Amino acid sequence: MRKSSVRKAIIPAAGMGTRFLPITRAQPKEMLPVVDKPVIQYVVEEAISSGIEDILIITGRGKRAIEDHFDISCELERKLKQNKDSRQFDEDRQISSMADIHYIRQKEQLGLGNAILHAEKHCDDEPFAVLLGDTITIPFKGEKSCTNQMIDSYNKYHSSIIAVEMVARKKIKDYGIIDGNELEDGIYSIKDIIEKPKPENAPSNLGAIGRYVLTPDIFDLLKDTKPGHGDEIQLTDALRKLNRPIGLVTKCRRYDIGDKLGWMKSSIELCLEREEFAEELRAFLNTLNCSEKMA
């Protein structure tokens, strides 16, 4: 693979996950299974398939399972060897040797902006990708990964890139919404971003989906950012001060796994795309349709 202009990725995964209580009392939402993989494995795979060589995961209290997941499990490998299960053995090895994964702990959950500040030394003045650890993206057929599409835009505009998508009016209050001028199809020069506005005050219906390519000047802007919405240091408040970032409508589907319904939808849709499950699951879903009609 050709060396990418963006070599590093930050995956913030330290949030408390209050929207997914009670399951997040004792386990990270980033480790929730979607079909047969934890959410964060999809995120790491997206980074790697985009040419990223170095990944920093921001973890926190109660998130040890994430580190264990990407570690080598000697006991498990021994067992798989004994069972002569070479397919599972190779799959397991592949997970533990995925990329150079580093970890840093965010000791207090002071917001996404604060989590990203923990990556300053690691990024060493290079542009970097941010992939939220509770968000899965699946590229449209024939398209590159979401992060790869963003790196392509970064190479063209040399500005920070924020992935956006059209959000339904009633969901606007849950997103950072951009105000911008369309430069070309699906590409906006951003004038402002408003964190979780009321629909009547929103400048557009284009909301940030949890994928960014950022230039290192974001760190100084984050240091100057006071707690905002929810009394947390919001990445959006620092992004507002960047010099004309670009909003990119990426060609992908996106699931917010931090949201209970988002997680359920992702599990069903991605299961339907797997040959070994599709037929039976579809038949099962059809029986639910029948009982709904009968009710």
Residues that bind ligand UTP (CB under 6 A): 12-20, 58, 106, 109-112, 114-115, 132-134, 258
* Residue (6 or 14) nearer to ligand UTP, CB: 14
Alpha carbon 95 to its chain centroid, in Å, reads 18
Closest CA to 218 of 123, 76, 97, 80: 123
Q: Least CB distance from residue 248 to ligand UTP, whole Å?
A: 19
Q: Least CB distance from residue 133 to ligand UTP, whole Å?
A: 4
Q: Least CB distance from residue 8 to ligand UTP, whole Å?
A: 17
Instruction: Give the count of beta carbons closer than 10 Å to the beta carbon of residue 261.
Output: 9
SS3 call for 34: strand
* Residue (23 or 76) nearer to ligand UTP, CB: 23
* Residue (80 or 210) nearer to ligand UTP, CB: 210
* Residue (73 or 109) nearer to ligand UTP, CB: 109
* Residue (112 or 209) nearer to ligand UTP, CB: 112
Q: Least CB distance from residue 259 to ligand UTP, whole Å?
A: 8
Task: Please report, as a single letter, which amino acid is at residue 64.
Answer: R
Q: Least CB distance from residue 26 to ligand UTP, whole Å?
A: 15
- State which residue has the least CB distance to ligand UTP: 15
DSSP E strands in the chain: the ranges are: 8-12, 33-34, 37-38, 54-59, 100-105, 128-131, 135-139, 161-166, 176-184, 187-195, 206-214, 246-249, 252-256
Q: Least CB distance from residue 56 to ligand UTP, whole Å?
A: 11
Which string of b and e fits 206-229 if b means at least 16 CB within 10 Å?
bbbbbbbbbbeebbebbeebeebe
CA distance 34 to 132: 16
* Residue (80 or 133) nearer to ligand UTP, CB: 133
